[in-house]
Amino acid sequence: MDKARIAIIGASGYTGAELVRLVTTHPGMRIAALAADRNAGKPLAEIYPHLSHLDLPTVVKTEEIDFAGIDLAFCGLPHATAQAVIGGLPRDLKVVDLSADFRLRDPKIYETWYGHEHHALDLQAEAVYGLPEFYREEIRATRLCAGTGCFVVNGLLPLVPLVEKGVIDLDEIVIDSKTGITGAGRSSAEWKLFSEVTAGTKAYGLGGTHRHTSEFDQELTKAAGREVTVMFTPHLLPMNRGILGTIYVKGDADEIQATLATRYADEPFVQVLPMGSAPLTQHVTGSNLCRIGVTPDRRKGRAVIVSVIDNLVKGASGQAVQCANLMLGQPETAGLELAPMFP
């Protein structure tokens, strides 16, 4: 079978590079085009020295790509830019977008959280939320898939089944998330310097102001059939990859464990650990896995859930490939069977 021809738009960021890493050894895909407007024309060895040994297409501007020869495009641009660029692509081109532009169903909510009107409402209307564990059939059928926020997939995988089944108190969900810094991307800023980040930690987006909060609201409210408002606080840790979500809930730990174990028994990328276990982020690095552990609190009726992913894989580029596999009719796990790299 011919390999699907893949374009990566916004190739020079970290999610773009991660897509190149994953697609390079994917049995059913090959990279046919790379676009990075700011870096167009530069040799790949300059943009990504770590990939300089690969025989890759020259990095061009998006408009220089002949999309007639492309089966699917990944788009790794920032929000707002993404909607403008994707709006200009052929309407029959399959697209997996990694930005926030097509995640929120309600344009008013998008406007509130992202500070500007949405300029591609028709695209937004057709987009499917790119969480295969909950939207598998919709993703198979769509031509535009919106990759989820990295914190959100980490939190939704444990929470959605519990909310759907009504086994936890919907008004008392606290999500305390810890992330590596690659999620913040490759643009320069003082706060991202090694000297500022190493050897310490901080909370940010406090009080429910981080934009991923809107995705939690949307998906948990949908799952519950009533409004769900979580407390969510992200933290920055001195590490590159990994998100660990510590989720405090009210509910019976055994019921929580059983609900999750049943729900994910057949999911290839979600692993529910035995009761009382807690997964480590360094143990999923480089893989598309989400590991979840449940522990009862000493007070009956309360539990702590720990969920881990690699933010650049299951939290971004890996999940994007998972969605692309579905959209292209390929095996869902193709190219994603890499074992975690530890240490």
Q: Which residues ranging from 26 to 85 are in contact with its own copies (CB under 8 A)?
A: 48-54
Question: How does DSSP assign 264-328, residue by residue?
Answer: TTT-SSEEEPPTT----GGGSTTS--EEEEEEE-SSTTEEEEEEEE-TTIIIIIHHHHHHHHHHT
**Does residue 228 contact residue 173 with C-beta atoms inside 8 Å?**
yes
Considering only 2, 92, 200, 266, the residue that binds its own copies (CB under 8 A) is 200
* Residue among 165 and 235 whose Cβ is closer to its own copies: 235
The tokens for 245 are: 């979500």
Interacting residues of 263 by C-beta distance below 8 A, sequence separation 6+: 161
Please list every residue from 130 through 189 that binds its own copies, using CB under 8 A.
172, 174, 176, 178, 180-182, 186-189
* Residue among 48 and 110 whose Cβ is closer to its own copies: 48
Closest distance to its own copies from the beta carbon of 122 (Å): 31
| Nearest CA among 174, 197, 136 for reference residue 319 | 136
* Residue among 164 and 176 whose Cβ is closer to its own copies: 176
Task: Out of 75, 145, 150, 290, pick the active-site residue.
Answer: 150
Q: Is 323 a catalytic residue?
A: no
Q: Is 104 in the site for its own copies (CB under 8 A)?
A: no
Q: Is 224 in the site for its own copies (CB under 8 A)?
A: no
3-state secondary structure of 153: helix
* Residue among 119 and 202 whose Cβ is closer to its own copies: 202
Closest distance to its own copies from the beta carbon of 309 (Å): 12
Considering only 276, 301, 331, 333, the residue that binds its own copies (CB under 8 A) is 276
**Does residue 245 contact residue 177 with C-beta atoms inside 8 Å?**
yes
Q: Is 278 in the site for its own copies (CB under 8 A)?
A: yes
The tokens for 204 are: 């940010």
Active site residues: 150
